[in-house]
Amino acid sequence: MEAKRGFPLFRHVRYDLFIEDTENNIYDIEIENEGRSLNERAIVYSSTLIAQRMKTNEKFESLKDTWVIFLTKKDMEKGYEPYYDYKWFDPKGQRLLSRKAAIRFVNGQYRNDDAFGKLMHDFHCTDPDQMYYDELREIVKYLKKDPEGVKIMCDIMNEAERL
């Protein structure tokens, strides 16, 4: 083996949405329309998220919970579940290695008549008047129909394109 200097410490990962809760747990939420290499991307994103959070000389036991959540367009597992959770198990699947790192694939095709199915309906709904949830309906109406909201949304999209 040959030791090399200057080996990159992290691959650059651009998170779609990064959230930190009041207990310092972190969440990376990814909007995914393709489905290519999702399992591999989930592992890379989860590992990078953890590594970026650890401070020099910080004890490993202090690691906070991390979640990588992919909102997928299609039912990746074809089990018609609202979501699929993955954790780190030993090869025989009998012992959980860590509870601190979780990966979830949210099924964007799920449409049961429950709260989650209604939320997935609203996420894909193009007409705010057809939405179930008042909070989403009102903000979508504002951003799509109100001239002030439309300008705000256009400004956000222009800024995102520049990044």
Q: What would the pLDDT profile of 71-100 be if each residue is shown by its tens digit?
A: 998 898 899 999 999 887 777 767 777 778
Q: Which residues lie closer than 8 Å to 110 by C-beta, 6 or more apart?
A: 75, 80, 81, 82, 83, 116, 117, 120
The C-alpha atoms of residue 76 and residue 80 are separated, in whole angstroms, by 9
- Mean predicted confidence (pLDDT) in 32-53: 84
Highest average pLDDT, of 19-23, 35-39, 93-97, comes from 19-23
How far CA 73 is from CA of 33, 42, 61, 121, in Å, comes to 5, 16, 36, 12
Q: What is the mean pLDDT of residues 32-47?
A: 85
7 has a pLDDT exceeding 70:
no
Work out the burial of residue 140: count CB atoms within 10 Å of its CB; fewer than 13 is exposed, 13-18 middle, 19 or more buried.
Answer: buried
When the pLDDT of each residue in the chain is averaged and rounded to a whole number, the result is: 86
pLDDT at 50: 86
Is the pLDDT assigned to residue 3 strictly greater than 60? Answer: no
Instruction: Grade residue 5 by pLDDT with cuts at 50, 70 and 90.
Output: low
| pLDDT value for 108 | 93
Does position 8 have pLDDT exceeding 90, yes or no?
no
Residue 150 has pLDDT above 90, yes or no: yes
* pLDDT, position 10: 54
